[in-house]
Amino acid sequence: MKRLIVVSNRLPYQVQESEGKVTLRQSDGGLVTALKSFFEEEARKGGTIEKRWVGAADFPEKRWKKFKAQENAEQTFEIDPIFIEKKTYSKFYNGFCNATLWPLFHYFPSYVEYDEETFQAYEAVNHAFADMLLSFLKPGDTLWIHDYQLLLLPGMIRQKLPDISIGFFLHIPFPSYEIFRMLHRTWKEKIIRGMLGADLLGFHTHEYVQHFLKTVRMVAGYDHQFRSIIVDNRIIKADLFPLGIDYAKFHDAANVPAVIEQRETIRKNFQDKKIIFSVDRLDYTKGVTHRLLGFEKFLEAYPDWKERVVFVLVVVPSRQIISKYNERLKLIEEQVGSINGKHSTLSWQPIIYRYSNLAFDELCALYEAADAALITPLRDGMNLVAKEYAASRAQEDGVLILSELAGAANEMGEAILVNPVDTADMANAISTALTMPVQEQRHNMKLLQKRLKDYTVIHWVNDFLKQLEEVRSQQSEQETK
């Protein structure tokens, strides 16, 4: 591989301006951290891969021009921001991406909005990405396209450059055909055609791969053999690549002074109380309102725990312009108020609620201070919070309570798995977690950590790119036959 171009809706840097100087700040995202480590490793082995990252700009074009005109230090990635007209971008992002595809792929069909205009915006933005890429792509380049915002893009590129190498990874669930088929006929055909432009399609779990293969057969009529499909004489492959995390980054955080200090403060504030922790982006898929019902049920079914436990609930702002998100925020806040109002005493409040972003140090301090993590999405492609909590447990104790409907549940059998809508099940799981002997906690946590350490996000990047190269060589063998 000579040149890798990563493509995602969001860019991995924030572009900030202060005192007349424009600077780039790398975001904390798992993908960019992993790719950076992957390239550092390649460089150590003497490899010289040129890398670029293409994404939608969330800053003004003027600022970008200023940045380009300055003297700048070298970055890991050359970035190519795409400037999209505001209204079109909003119909794309708040419309088709997050009010149509997102709820449908997470099994919330009643939340899905059907609007031809937002689909047109989705096509227009995918086209804008294709135009930017086609302006500089060369034969021999490798493209790695990410997520549901760009399902049409692989096909658009393939049409113009039939021989380019394209990988695609879906970070959210791929739903069963019975759900997918609820999209308008033209949309679903274009989406599947778009995805089939890739050489390799990656998903988090075996089920998502199976759903995709069946959908391809039903929508486009292509059959598969094991996980390979022949499309217009070209072999393409769909496979599972469960996303991992940067294990060391979370595990080693326990020794960072700022983390230690905050962890100790938290522990002191909640002396002689057990701490249950959860953190999610604001999203109805995360099951926060059901989780609150489960916690309340626990207080009622196990009243001995009153004044001896706190639930620290952090919700991170996200997509609030979309009505279903804003409604959810109101519901969460009402419910927190009602549970606290009903169960608090003069010296104790059962839920400590925050609606804000969390800095990395503070997040790790909370992971470490918490006796249990309660992570109960109604549906989640993977869920990395569960993995981060387990990795952060430097003392190998702590209990993870995890929804069986998160992709991560497939790999985390040592967690207490719960049905996120069964409040009695959740209440019992909380009680089991808080009374679990330390020996048992350690036994489970060690197994969870081993798996997370053995398959980190760097392995994930390696595996995906290696398999993409394999598919490409299979294609050339097929052509020479």
Interface ranges with ligand G6P (CB under 6 A): 10, 147, 171-172, 318-319
Residue 63: exposure state from Cβ atoms within 10 A (0-12, 13-18, ≥19): middle
The phi and psi torsions of 77 (rounded to 5 degrees) equal: -115, 135
Q: Residue 436 half-sphere exposure, CB side, CA atoms within 13 Å?
A: 25
Comparing CB distances to ligand G6P, the nearer of 97 and 309 is 97
In the bound state with ligand G6P, the residue whose beta carbon lies nearer, of 318 and 349, is 318
What phi and psi, each to the nearest 5 degrees, are found at residue 168?
-135, 135
Q: Which is nearer to ligand G6P, 285 or 441 (CB)?
A: 285
Indicate the residue among 126 and 423 with the shorter CB distance to ligand G6P.
Answer: 126
SS3 state at 98: helix
| Sequence-separated contacts (24+) of 213-218 with Cβ below 8 Å | 213/238, 214/176, 214/177, 215/174, 215/177, 215/180, 215/181, 216/192, 218/177, 218/181
Beta carbon nearer to ligand G6P, 36 or 171: 171
User: Which is closer to ligand G6P, CB of 94 or CB of 456?
Assistant: 94
Q: What is the DSSP letter of 463?
A: H
Which residues are CB-neighbours of 282 under 8 A, at least 6 positions away? 315, 316, 317, 318, 319, 320, 325, 328, 329, 332, 355
In the bound state with ligand G6P, the residue whose beta carbon lies nearer, of 211 and 319, is 319
**Tokens, residue 438:** 């330390």
Compare residues 27 and 349 and give the one whose CB is closer to ligand G6P: 27
Closest CB 390 distance from ligand G6P, rounded Å: 19
Query: Taking the complex as a whole, how short is the minimal distance between the CB of residue 307 and ligand G6P, in angstroms?
Result: 37
- Rounded CA-CA distance 477/50 in Å is 27
Q: What are the tokens at 417?
A: 């798995």
What minimum distance in Å lies between the beta carbon of 149 and ligand G6P?
6
Q: Which is nearer to ligand G6P, 171 or 472 (CB)?
A: 171
Strand runs labelled E in 83-160? 142-146
Q: State the minimum distance, in angstroms, from the CB of residue 92 to ligand G6P.
A: 11
Report the residue number, 112 or 447, with the smaller CB distance to ligand G6P.
112
Q: How many residues does the chain have?
A: 481
Closest CB to ligand G6P among 201 and 299? Answer: 201
User: Could you give the 3-state DSSP secondary structure of residue 422?
Assistant: coil
Residue number of the CB atom closest to ligand G6P? 171
CB 62, min distance to ligand G6P, A: 23
| Shortest CB 144 distance to ligand G6P, Å | 14
What does each C-alpha distance from 244 to 224, 390, 451 come to in angstroms?
28, 12, 10
Q: Shortest approach of ligand G6P to residue 369 CB, angstroms?
A: 25
Q: How far is the CB of 261 from ligand G6P (least distance, A)?
A: 29
CA distance 386 to 279: 10
Residue 208 Cβ, how far from ligand G6P at the closest point, in Å?
13
Give min distance, CB of 5 to ligand G6P, in A: 18
Least Å distance, CB 189 to ligand G6P, is 23
How far apart CA 81 and CA 87 sit, in angstroms, is 17
Report the DSSP pairing between strands 234-240 and 228-231: antiparallel
Q: Given the structure tokens 């998502």, which residue do they identify?
A: 208
Handedness of CA 235, 241, 243, 245 (dihedral sign): negative
CB 381 within 8 A of CB 267: no
**Residue 280 and residue 316 in contact, taking contact as beta carbons nearer than 8 Å:** yes
